[in-house]
A = this chain, B = another copy of it.
């Protein structure tokens, strides 16, 4: 079992290594992990709820997406959480997976083909041929859910894409949007809060090369010794505010590290605690970096690693994979500029990206490719997709915020952070997320009802020709 009293069983699927080249790895395969629960399934007739795993261990997503199980209980669904290739326990080449050219099989297209093949084969194994499939995903996983419905509607009846920034990651929109919206969360607590953050960063800048004072002010394990270290410190601090904004849930969570309830509010309380702005800034960052084990000092380069994602890649092997994806297909050229946001000016242009990715991975990013391949904002011919977003989430405005048709539904959750709606019900849930989950449940039930008679997703059926 993945977790104590877990309804899930951990299994491995024999997956094709390369779906797009018959002469690269021949018919080579790897073991792809998935978690499955038939606890609530109406055998052979209930729908299949399939979580399109994103950039992490699949068990973390299963543990933090309780809504899917709650919905499965309501609707008699089989639940599958599939792990994304190159993450968690699904490394195609073990510890060599991130060497070149082996890392080249890490693409969005390969991941989608993995899910399409897995769904098709598991349905056959489980005699679920006639069962409609609904895909679920949060963040990048939500993008994958959208893409599954766009590219494989023969396999997927509908998608719930929670906090899926399909536009900003495809180069559509304003590169200033993300950190502007992080800032807005603190501004919303009180204008004094964002002003204090801005002033604190200014004090840090004014200290310039007074490295000893900076070390003591921020309790750094080593004193900075070059502008590069100050840049790293700024990145580490900005990242703390980003995380608290993304994960600004009304109760404490253990999703991406440990986070107290209402971290943004707590951060603002600390920022406004006393006159020592640098101490306040340090203690606010500690909400994130001190959350697991209390640290005697902050290590600039161990707590935060700069990568091709200005919002943070995290640490460990999963962060390697994500860095590679941000260097190839996923465009995250977000900037802070201290004008439209409260942070120091830190830009990440396509030129910066090209330089970094060529050195780090020997690849050339392909701006515009994700938009070309997955339609950008030209979604009018798509159907059966819910785009849910929380207004507290800095990713929200990089996604679809207005319904595009009667079957492309935007659900906005005023008091919601990053895919709060995918989390299980909680006493602290704001009314808006309770309403959102109810609406999502109704829309999904409707898709299932309509699709059930349409048997053309059944591989066993005869063709529509004479």
Contact = CB atoms under 8 A, between A and B. Distances in A.
A296 interface: no
A104 B400 contact: no
A458 B166 CA distance: 17
Given A380-B456, A464-B379, A21 B22 contact: no
A258 interface: no
A356 to B, nearest CB: 14
**Copies, count:** 2
A378 B154 contact: yes
Contacts of A383: 381
Interface string A357-401: 000011110101101110111111101000000000000011111
Nearest to A461: B377
A395 to B, nearest CB: 12
A195 B464 CA distance: 32
Interface of A is mostly: loop
Contacts of A109: 20, 109
Nearest to A117: B372
Given A23-B104, A456-B379, A120 B465 contact: no
A464 B22 contact: no
Interface string A89-131: 0000000000011011101011001001100100000000000
A239 interface: no
Interface in A1-55: 18-24, 26-27
A397 B465 CA distance: 7
A364 B26 CA distance: 7
A371 B404 contact: no
Nearest to A328: B22
A465 B23 contact: no
Closest 9 CB pairs of A and B: A23-B104, A154-B378, A154-B375, A23-B101, A378-B456, A153-B381, A20-B20, A22-B363, A27-B364
Given A22-B327, A23-B100, A154-B376, 11 more contacts: A18-B21, A21-B104, A151-B151, A154-B372, A154-B379, A167-B463, A172-B462, A173-B462, A377-B456, A397-B466, A404-B464
7 contacts: A20-B21, A22-B328, A23-B361, A23-B362, A24-B24, A117-B372, A400-B464
Interface of A: 18-24, 26-27, 100-101, 103-105, 107, 109-110, 113, 116-117, 120, 151-155, 167, 172-173, 327-328, 361-364, 366, 368-369, 371-373, 375-381, 383, 397-402, 404, 454, 456-457, 459, 461-466
